[in-house]
Structure 1
């Protein structure tokens, strides 16, 4: 029976990953050595290595003539091409786009960013991103012929007037939520590789779950910044929801008579726990703070108004998270965003609220911690999404 194209591509990708991993771990190897390490037949291995050589993922570095016993024909030794980009992460912010490129071993090879105005249309933002990719290649000598996948993080959600494209229209594109018109298609057409696009906040949730020695399969992530966004990871996979809005907790109403929210409602969590919400509360209590720098200075002085506002906003956030925790029973709750780094009391208060109101005894509740990745790590989070889609990584995560 003929193997379905999708299954065939998955098997081939798995074989390629295993060959690349063997070369990354062992250095230069002959085809025979690779075949023994990865457990592939010589015929299959020949097909895989031929493809990888043609695309520039690997190169012939020498032969085993110096160490080969007898008088047989020397065998070529293959190694990873140090100039071959394998994975790419792209993060579109409101005022800049950042690109990170990694090799087969997931080591970052090059990175850079370019700025634009907040009002810049998406067509121009996409051109700026593609131009940045080309300049990184030219400046560092990288080539993209062996690129395996691209992860793209974008702000969201998007109103229809932004030109949201749903469902995706380009072959090979996996879109996890509506995206600005043309971003996904442009990258798929330029590089002819699978493209994964999602909210950069939700990609950050995946990065927090799967990166590092203490990875978990079930996690709730919330970011406190100009707004309040979030993401949910269940069973090692991002949860998107029917409209791509899963984890977007910022517009849960917590104070029905509270401050107006930009969504048109009143008293959303965003009006209480975002940076503007915290600053507004400080003003209401007679402490005029203009920005994060002012807030950081007040925190360092231990100002009682700031301490009260932060604890109250964190307690409110904890109560909203409590519903999610009860429903999903995650192993971790991660709090990210600029304000979290300058005011650790936020994380402490969320943990106390969850422990007191949701999860007695404490041992049944999730670990609550600050995000490991900063606001500037959006491109790295997009990379994490691409790494996570590797069949080899999927096998590893299932076995552990």
Structure 2
């Protein structure tokens, strides 16, 4: 969803010029929306941090936040008094009113669904997951998710009366809708039957829903998590399949029909095994978990699960080590070529197998370095994913934060007297 600035500046032109007080009100509302957007997307922040993000002077920001605090749109969540060194007034951290909204992130993996629910201040209210069979029909997967949500909300006594948005991740390419007409087909890679998953959640919860590829959403989660968030990221996840995501300028890149970041279907062995996409020798046929386990078995190592692989890695096994390094080299070749084109700030490789076998990330980093310019300029750091297997759900949640309304449900200040509020609407009493 586009920002509310377009709603302000996109109004039809009027021959009647706004009065000075009207201009002041317009500018003030714009500043408020920028502050609320920063808090919605970034969570709790100090005033100085907000000022840096929105580009307002400290005095203007103090006036804006004072009004928003008075109206209940934002609250003080804590101060740094317990951590502060030296004298001076403790710095308050401000956030959207936690009770004003709830947001849900759902990740339908190949074999498991993850759910995360947060409030408007980004505090996690509940989270959990439940497994299902890889061949379970989508109608049953959705019902499994609903059952999980009911169980989690019942145990935590969380009700969804303030649910504002739902982000949903699904496996494989998810087609982005054109400006008109049906979604384009994505062939055997995606899940055409999952196209209606958003409608099922809208019907169940009565809140807006967005859907995207779960690995792409995991890329967004990795880009914004931790103390070193980045706006430019290459992300690849090794699991039952191999997927990826691109974050450029702080936004997900989907491509013209939703196929951006499909690193798993880049050809690395032209004469290799046939992939489920129909081509031969895709990265997925070499570096996915099933492909790695199959290659180990072909070499004489009886591995049938990630637990078996964990045991084999603990007691060095020459066949297993060779297979892992071969898969990692293929991963590095694909990511290295992409890095040479896109020049990312960071490369992240995810999936449980990277935790079990760190050699994958190390070997991939060596290969990536060999693909880049042989100059004194350091290439992007390559690291294992910092988030757990619920990264797709967290990313879905992040996508909702970046697509939800800014001011839904908050009263506006009277244009003549900023301290006077009208219930449930604008200064002249119109409902929002």
With normalisation by structure 1, the TM-score equals: 0.73
Alignment of 1:23-34 (within 5 A): none
What SS class does the counterpart of residue 126 from structure 2 fall into? strand
Structure 1 residue 238 corresponds to structure 2 residue 263 = no
Matches of 2:297 and 2:61 in 1, distance apart?
68
User: Residue 161 of structure 2 corresponds to which residue in structure 1?
Assistant: 145
Bigger share in helix: 1
The answer for unaligned runs of 5 or more in structure 2 is 12-28, 47-59, 76-94, 181-190, 407-432
Alignment of 1:26-65 (within 5 A): 37=62, 39=64, 49=72
Q: CA RMSD in A?
A: 3.7
Count of aligned pairs between the two proteins:
343
User: Residue 344 of structure 1 corresponds to which residue in structure 2?
Assistant: 358
User: Residue 203 of structure 1 corresponds to which residue in structure 2?
Assistant: 217
Q: CA deviation at 1:131?
A: 4.2
Deviations 1:293-316 (A, max 9, x none): 222212111112222221122112
Q: CA deviation at 1:120?
A: 3.2
Matches of 1:36 and 1:317 in 2, distance apart?
47
User: Residue 129 of structure 1 corresponds to which residue in structure 2?
Assistant: 145
User: Residue 116 of structure 2 corresponds to which residue in structure 1?
Assistant: 100
Q: CA deviation at 1:197?
A: 1.5
Deviations 1:19-50 (A, max 9, x none): 989x9679xxxxxxxx98461796x988x65x
User: Residue 424 of structure 2 corresponds to which residue in structure 1?
Assistant: none
- 2:236–2:243: 8 Å Cα contact kept in structure 1? yes
- 1:336–1:371: 8 Å Cα contact kept in structure 2? yes
- 1:355–1:361: 8 Å Cα contact kept in structure 2? no
Deviations 1:352-372 (A, max 9, x none): 112123232364311100001
- 1:149–1:195: 8 Å Cα contact kept in structure 2? yes
User: Residue 324 of structure 2 corresponds to which residue in structure 1?
Assistant: 310
What SS class does the counterpart of residue 125 from structure 1 fall into? helix
- 1:94–1:118: 8 Å Cα contact kept in structure 2? yes
What SS class does the counterpart of residue 195 from structure 2 fall into? coil
What SS class does the counterpart of residue 334 from structure 1 fall into? strand
What SS class does the counterpart of residue 182 from structure 1 fall into? helix
- 2:176–2:258: 8 Å Cα contact kept in structure 1? no
* Change in CA separation of 1:297 and 1:269 when aligned onto 2, cut-off 3 Å: same
Q: CA deviation at 1:168?
A: 9.3
Which of the residues 197, 220, 223 maps onto 2:237? Answer: 223
Which of the residues 301, 305, 309 maps onto 1:291? Answer: 305
Matches of 2:210 and 2:198 in 1, distance apart?
8
* Change in CA separation of 1:8 and 1:108 when aligned onto 2, cut-off 3 Å: farther
- 2:105–2:116: 8 Å Cα contact kept in structure 1? yes
Which of the residues 312, 319, 337 maps onto 2:333? Answer: 319
Matches of 2:304 and 2:159 in 1, distance apart?
46
Q: CA deviation at 1:167?
A: 5.1
The answer for unaligned runs of 5 or more in structure 1 is 27-34, 59-78, 159-163, 170-176, 393-400
User: Residue 155 of structure 1 corresponds to which residue in structure 2?
Assistant: 171
* Change in CA separation of 1:4 and 1:279 when aligned onto 2, cut-off 3 Å: closer
Matches of 1:36 and 1:354 in 2, distance apart?
44
Q: CA deviation at 1:351?
A: 1.0
